[in-house]
A and B are shown apart, each in its own frame.
Chain A
Amino acid sequence: MDSDRHSVILATDCGSTTTKAILIERRPEGYRQTYRGEAPTTVEAPFMDVTRGVLNAIEEVEELSGRRILDGERIIRPAAEGRGVDIYISTSSAGGGLQMLVAGAVKTMTAESAQRAALGAGAIVMEVIASNDRRLPHQKIARIRELSPDMILLSGGTDGGTVSHVVELAGYIAAARPSPRLGEGYSLPVIYAGNAQARTEVAEVLQAHTALSVTDNIRPTLERENLAPARLKIQDLFLEHVMAHAPGYDRLIGWTDAPIMPTPAAVGSIMEGIARREGINVLGVDIGGATTDVFSVFAGTFNRTVSANLGMSYSVSNVLVEAGPERILRWMPEEVAPAELQDAVKNKMIRPTTIPQALQDLMLEQALAREALALALEQHRALATELKGTQRQRDIADAFEQRAAASLVDMEKLDLMVGSGGVLSHAPRRAQAMMMLIDGFAPCAVTELAVDSIFMMPHLGVLSQVDEDAALEVFRRDCLVRLGTCVGATRTPRPGRPCLRYSLRAPGGRDAEGEMKAGEIMRFPAGADEQVEAEITPSRGVDVGAGPSRRLEAKCRGGEVGIVIDARGRPIQFDPDPASRRAQVAGWLRALDAYPQEALRPREP
């Protein structure tokens, strides 16, 4: 599409709870996001029609902008003075999003590649079945039958490799006779993306029971992954099968000017775009009510994971179960009994739409968010790896050596971290969002941090498919709320010992100099349009981004919070005594002005 023709763009995202509509308009200075509307998603009973929520959200945009967009239930096109839009695009995660089962011959090789393909396409992976996953055949069949995926991705065997394993898996799928989650009377889509030599046999087994399609092998050789064809196929089938059978989507598909994307695929798309255009490493997180998505682009390789068990409301109790009460309560500046934490978490689980009213409840939620982020990053690191199963020859004299798969996520090489999701974007103080990201993800060296102001990334991601320039312009200008830059020291000494000296110079002559001990954190306020010249001289062995013991000179961009120098260590070192630890945490929160000062005042014993 010719970008010169787009003066007004309408984009919607149909989330599982709310449908959000935004207007993007071409202004003299470039594309800007101008108005936003929101309405409850109407895909479940009693409405059972996603277009109702879409129209409600668009109506809110009409009211706020004064632009007439709808003529009854028809979107007016093209844009003219005070009316209409040039294009309408949408994303969706409504109805729980795209839920897939993946299967592969070997758990750590083809099955893992299949998992990456599905996640990269925006799916939630309900289960990974592998020939070597230790379950008995009848257990695998029972499990496949129990799940009601929207789609199955079957892989296995490099081209020319094993045939029997993948045909065996196809046999289990056929025997289970899985039924699709949405819609009745249509066959479950199955994508075969494995050994090309097994295509005929797989088709013989599956064709009668499923809607089978075949695409290129996702792992044609052990050394190479080829995920793009499978990702595209998944997205095509998502639209054709899943969305077409979800309530109201057949109408919505008819309204849009580009294919509807699964929301996480769209978010990944804009992140890939920004990483590619700016040549940077990016880490993004969307911490929602039920799931936490982590996206990363390191050295040009994109990865996405969905921690489908970690969220801030529907699955907040899972965060407590996985992290444990001690890890959550260690972030609190005041004493909270574990039983009180349990009650608070369970009550949030059963009443997920509530918000914290008492300050202590806000602190508890943000403590939970830190642990959810840390757990989600752990899961992401485990999947975002170099390919497993490859062998590298060192030299002719050496035997072939099996290399352990290293994670691609290297926090010392991270340039930009972007957070989204209510707990981050709607934190009452931006310093709280910055602390949650720093405490949860522990960035090292020099990293810029930002939050997505209103979860605009899905809209921009689907827009990037038709007009990447417009999408990236709005992303830089309006989407990101820059929080500032964090300089995270690693290899720090014991708490209390000298760690580094800093000298910060902001434009206009505002300076700060000082020393920091290990265990401390400090903040230098600087605006998003300020580049602060930082010189940081670490103590012996400490690394602040230039190498151990080496002085760092960097230009650090400010933001709503400013420049943060974190000498608390990686991992962050906590005082072992509970009362001292609470005082320590209160000190960190005071340093960043994260909460009202009176709430963090040292308490009399």
Chain B
Amino acid sequence: MAHAYTPGLKVLERTSVRKARLLPLRGRVLAAEGARVRAADVVAEAELPGEVHPVNVAGLLGVRPEEIAHYMLKGPGDHVEKGELLAQTRPWIKWLKASCQAPVGGTIESASQVTGQVMLREPPQNISLSAYVSGTVEQVMPEEGVVVRAEGALVQGIFGLGGECTGRLKVVASGPEAAVGPEALDSSCGNCIIVVGAQAGVELLRAAAELGVAAVVAAAMPAEQLRELLGYDIGVAVTGSEQIGTTVVLTEGFGAMPMARRTFELLEGLQGREASACGATQIRAGVLRPEVIVPAREGEAQAPIAGAAAPVATADGLHPGARVRVIRRPRFGMIGRVTELVAEPVRIETEALVRALKVELEDGQTLTVPRANVEIIET
């Protein structure tokens, strides 16, 4: 029977997280397999080929393209400094001399006698890659990168902004329904990953950026304030390179809703610990979720946490007992447990006939919801 795929987010107190740290092109791996690494340690580095600058030598000298070889002072493979002469005419009347200088320092890659252009490539740029999360190098891919494995807590969000960061976890909201304003933040939040409860409004995020907050974790934000924050409207959910001064992780969605109690309590219990976060989101073609990872301390990884329940395996899909979030109106954002997978298709308010299930919400109400409108929370 074909398998149905139901999306899900992880809110796990104890799990193994594997992060592939891969260079964009071949380079050097600096960490060995089995080595312990901290989040900020550089695990790989590479050289990115420099920018290419085409120089219209024929145009600048006023000669035909096929003549440039006659006037070139340097050739392919030669290094030139910025301002150095690349080519020069040698007319009888010296003040009619035309010359062409290198606009940047670099290496001459080619000189075309068809276009009259010379391609000048700048020196390569070094790029380095950090471990991002404290853990152990599980695998080394020579010249490409490493896989770092961390044991600890993982909270996945549904949407984020900004890239990777690390910091100490700090909870500034009193509960999952509480919404804090910018006045709740102070200098002690600097370099921290702060949990602000239900809402992350634009004023709070600006204040966080000013204070040097590493990341803000909230349940939701109004979509109109997202546009205000960025200065443009997001068209597709591909994020991670926004320059807004802080990273943002939303755990529930857009609008106004509380954080899932389980998520808030988990983060509250880990307050004060070093954590890694990333706001990069990609909804299709290789799904990426924003996240907060709190690695276990040394020695803690081996001991089970008191009272920790075994994670519920939900990789196969929905089943009675599965913990889910309702992800469409009505009762958007509510958490509950599946009580029944309804066998026959159900006609919903839109008059569509759909496969549905029954969910018992945390407030005791039972809802009939299309199966497409729930998200599994793996806890």
Real binding pair:
yes
Chain A residues within CB distance 8 Å of chain B: 16, 37-40, 44-45, 56-57, 59-60, 63, 95-96, 137-138, 141-142, 163-164, 167-168, 171-172, 174-177, 201, 205, 290, 309, 314-315, 317-318, 320-321, 338-339, 342-347, 349-359, 361-362, 426, 428-429, 596
Query: How many Å lie between the Cα of A354 and that of B327 in the bound state?
Result: 7
Query: How many Å lie between the Cα of A343 and that of B4 in the bound state?
Result: 27
A596 touches B112 (CB 8 A): no
Residues of chain A with a CB closer than 8 A to B49's CB: 177
A37 touches B54 (CB 8 A): no
Q: What 1/0 mask marks residues of chain B from 346 to 363 whose CB sits below 8 Å from any chain A CB?
A: 001111101000000000
A347 touches B117 (CB 8 A): no
Known pairs A317-B237, A343-B254; list 8 more (Cβ under 8 Å). A164-B115, A347-B255, A347-B332, A349-B236, A354-B373, A355-B352, A357-B369, A596-B351
Query: How many Å lie between the Cα of A141 and that of B373 in the bound state?
Result: 44
Contact of B52 with A by CB under 8 A: yes
Residues of chain A with a CB closer than 8 A to B233's CB: 317, 320-321
Query: How many Å lie between the Cα of A175 and that of B120 in the bound state?
Result: 9
Most chain B Cβ neighbours within 10 Å, of A57, A95, A174: A174
B159 touches A428 (CB 8 A): no
Residues of chain A with a CB closer than 8 A to B349's CB: 357-359
Query: How many Å lie between the Cα of A37 and that of B2 in the bound state?
Result: 9
Query: How many Å lie between the Cα of A358 and that of B369 in the bound state?
Result: 11
Which listed residue (A164, A201, A343) contacts B222, Cβ 8 A?
A343
Query: How many Å lie between the Cα of A201 and that of B115 in the bound state?
Result: 10
A60 touches B2 (CB 8 A): yes
Query: How many Å lie between the Cα of A356 and that of B236 in the bound state?
Result: 20
Most chain B Cβ neighbours within 10 Å, of A63, A163, A205, A357: A357
Q: What 1/0 mask marks residues of chain B from 279 to 291 whose CB sits below 8 Å from any chain A CB?
A: 0010111110000
Residues of chain B with a CB closer than 8 A to A338's CB: 224
Which listed residue (B52, B117, B284) contacts A176, Cβ 8 A?
B52
Which listed residue (B158, B224, B350) contacts A359, Cβ 8 A?
B350
Q: What is the number of residues of chain B that contact chain A, defined by CB distance less than 8 Å?
A: 58
Those of B329-352 within 8 Å (CB) of chain A:
329-330, 332, 348-352
Q: What 1/0 mask marks residues of chain B from 101 to 126 whose CB sits below 8 Å from any chain A CB?
A: 00000000110101111010100000
Q: Give the Cβ gap from B180 to chain A, nearest Cβ, in Å.
A: 20
Query: How many Å lie between the Cα of A187 and that of B233 in the bound state?
Result: 37
A40 touches B54 (CB 8 A): no
Contact of B299 with A by CB under 8 A: no
Query: How many Å lie between the Cα of A356 and that of B369 in the bound state?
Result: 11
Q: Give the Cβ gap from B290 to chain A, nearest Cβ, in Å.
A: 10
A428 touches B351 (CB 8 A): yes
Contact of B163 with A by CB under 8 A: no
Query: How many Å lie between the Cα of A295 and that of B315 in the bound state?
Result: 39
Residues of chain B with a CB closer than 8 A to A168's CB: 112, 114-115, 117
B354 touches A339 (CB 8 A): no
SS class of chain B's interface: helix, strand, loop or mixed?
loop
Residues of chain A with a CB closer than 8 A to B235's CB: 309, 315, 317-318, 321
Query: How many Å lie between the Cα of A168 and that of B117 in the bound state?
Result: 8
The residue of chain B having its C-beta at the shortest distance from the C-beta of A55 within the complex is B2
A317 touches B114 (CB 8 A): no
A163 touches B114 (CB 8 A): yes
Q: Give the Cβ gap from A178 to chain B, nearest Cβ, in Å.
A: 12
B329 touches A357 (CB 8 A): yes
Query: How many Å lie between the Cα of A320 and that of B224 in the bound state?
Result: 12
Contact of B375 with A by CB under 8 A: yes
Which listed residue (B236, B253, B354) contacts A314, Cβ 8 A?
B236
Can you identify 27 A-B contacts, CB atoms within 8 angstroms? Answer: A37-B2, A39-B3, A137-B54, A138-B51, A138-B52, A163-B114, A164-B115, A168-B117, A171-B119, A177-B49, A314-B236, A314-B237, A317-B235, A339-B222, A343-B255, A346-B223, A346-B254, A347-B253, A349-B236, A350-B237, A350-B281, A351-B158, A351-B327, A351-B375, A352-B283, A358-B350, A361-B350
Q: Give the Cβ gap from A398 to chain B, nearest Cβ, in Å.
A: 37
The residue of chain B having its C-beta at the shortest distance from the C-beta of A349 within the complex is B237
A167 touches B328 (CB 8 A): no
Q: Give the Cβ gap from B151 to chain A, nearest Cβ, in Å.
A: 21
B328 touches A361 (CB 8 A): yes
Contact of B96 with A by CB under 8 A: no
The residue of chain A having its C-beta at the shortest distance from the C-beta of B122 within the complex is A138
Query: How many Å lie between the Cα of A428 and that of B348 in the bound state?
Result: 10
The residue of chain A having its C-beta at the shortest distance from the C-beta of B58 within the complex is A164
Those of B1-51 within 8 Å (CB) of chain A:
1-5, 7, 49, 51
B114 touches A167 (CB 8 A): yes
Q: Give the Cβ gap from B277 to chain A, nearest Cβ, in Å.
A: 18
Contact of B207 with A by CB under 8 A: no
Residues of chain B with a CB closer than 8 A to A38's CB: 2
Contact of B204 with A by CB under 8 A: no
Residues of chain A with a CB closer than 8 A to B348's CB: 357
Query: How many Å lie between the Cα of A339 and that of B222 in the bound state?
Result: 8
| A60-B1, A177-B49 known; A350 vs B119 contact (CB < 8 Å) | no
Contact of B65 with A by CB under 8 A: yes
Contact of B372 with A by CB under 8 A: yes
Contact of B226 with A by CB under 8 A: yes
A342 touches B222 (CB 8 A): yes
The residue of chain B having its C-beta at the shortest distance from the C-beta of A19 within the complex is B2
Residues of chain A with a CB closer than 8 A to B234's CB: 317, 346, 349
Query: How many Å lie between the Cα of A309 and that of B1 in the bound state?
Result: 34
